[in-house]
Amino acid sequence: EQYFSRSSDLVGLDIVITAGPTQEAIDPVRYISNHSSGKMGFAIARAFAQRGANVTLISGPVNLPTPSKVNRINVLSAQQMWQIALESAVKNHIFIACAAVADYRVADIAEQKIKKSTNEMQLTLVKNPDIVSDVGHLTENRPFTVGFAAETQQVEQYAQDKLLRKKLDMICANDVSNGQVFGAEQNALKLFWQNGSEQLPETSKQQLAQQLVNKIVERYHAKEH
């Protein structure tokens, strides 16, 4: 009975998750990106799918297999991720932003490979759209919105600021001051919502994902349903 309920108690719940880094082209052969492995987002996708939820995983370029029964959409740039994410967000109950979206993109992508000439060269960068903030600020068909915050200092303060600024229902704060979260197998998270918080102690990303799913579902139901 335990097994049965575990494998199907979230049937009918529609979840969309962004994961991995984005890749911002400089020219046809070069790009700007970051070290996100996508593991946490994929673990959350798998944990939801294992309980019967309908999961859409919008993934940047990562080297991970698609979890069973998850609908995966691959993207490269932040702008591509933004477009698919906003389209999906309004059709789902819960939106979870795990992706390490590049904050900036190159203003003018060179059509041809840039040749080496001067000793110094400059790239002009422009800010990318903030995907989770745009979802959080939706006025129609807004899903329950969950963000992450990777911080190297003042973790609680910055996480709480992001919760408010991006209009999130929940934020999961990650202390990356030791530089070991990217690609690591273990992680710890501190969760914040409007009027509460909870610490999830360090464990495997898969275990953490299962605990996080419990917490997200609990807060989702506490909010309006």
Residue 123 beta carbon to ligand CTP: minimum distance, rounded to whole angstroms: 18
Cβ neighbours of residue 64 under 8 Å, at least 6 residues apart?
A: 37, 38, 39, 42
Residue 162: which of Ca ion, ligand CTP, none does it interact with, CB under 5 to 8 A by kind? ligand CTP
Distance of CA 102 to the CA centre of its chain: 12
Instruction: Candidates 7, 87, 91, 103: give the one binding Ca ion (CB under 5 A).
Output: 103
DSSP code at position 152: S
Residue 34 annotated as catalytic: yes
Residue count at the site for Ca ion (CB under 5 A)? Answer: 1
DSSP letter for 66, please.
P
Cα angle 188, 72, 48; round to 5: 45
From the CB of 189, what's the least distance to Ca ion, in Å? 17
Q: What's the CA gap between 218 and 129, in Å, rounded?
A: 29
* Residue 189 binding: pick among ligand CTP, Ca ion, none (C-beta 5-8 Å cut-off by kind): none
The residue (of 158 and 193) whose beta carbon lies closer to Ca ion is 158
Instruction: Residue count of the chain, please give it.
Output: 225
Distance of CA 149 to the CA centre of its chain: 10
Binds ligand CTP (CB under 6 A): choice among 44, 150, 170, 217? 150
Residues that bind ligand CTP (CB under 6 A): 18, 78, 97, 99, 101, 103, 128, 130-132, 147-150, 162
Annotated binding site for CTP: 103, 113, 129-132, 148, 162, 166
Residues that bind Ca ion (CB under 5 A): 103
